[in-house]
Amino acid sequence: MARNLARILRGCGSLVPFMKTPARPPRSSSSSIPVRTLVEMLPSLFSSKPRDFSLPNSSWGEEMMRLYEHYNGHTETEGEENQERKWNRLPSYNRSLKYAAGGVYLSKLIQSKARLFTRNIRDPGAAFEYVLFIDKEKEKCVCIFQAGHLLEGPPGHVHGGAIATMIDTVTGTHASAISAPVLTANLNIDYRSPIPLGSTVLIESTLEKTEGRKLFISCKVTSTDGSKRHTDATALFVSVSIGHLLKG
Amino acid, res. 214: K
Query: Phi/psi of residue 209, each to 5°?
Result: -170, 165
State pTM to two decimals: 0.74
Higher-pLDDT residue of 248, 101: 101
Average pLDDT over residues 153-171: 98
Higher-pLDDT residue of 97, 32: 97
> pLDDT, tens digit, for every residue of 107-147?
777 777 778 889 888 789 999 999 999 998 999 999 999 99
Average pLDDT, the chain: 80
- Has residue 51 been placed in a domain? no
Which pLDDT belongs to residue 95? 76
Amino acid, res. 147: A
Whether 52 is a known active-site residue: answer no
Beta pairing, strands 182-191 & 140-147 = unpaired
Catalytic residue among 52, 123, 135, 168: 168
- Has residue 57 been placed in a domain? no
Strand partners, 200: 146
How many other C-beta atoms lie within 10 A of the C-beta of residue 136? 13
Q: 222 near 206, Cβ under 8 Å? A: no
Compute the distance between CA of residue 82 and CA of residue 234 in angstroms, rounded to an integer. 29
- Has residue 129 been placed in a domain? yes
Which pLDDT belongs to residue 244? 64
Q: Are residues 81 and 105 in the same domain?
A: yes
Q: Are residues 30 and 76 in the same domain?
A: no
- What angle, 0 to 180 degrees and rounded to 10, lies between the N-to-C axes of helices 2-15 and 35-46? 40
Q: Are residues 152 and 192 in the same domain?
A: yes
Strand partners, 87: 75, 135
Q: Are residues 31 and 123 in the same domain?
A: no
Which pLDDT belongs to residue 3? 52
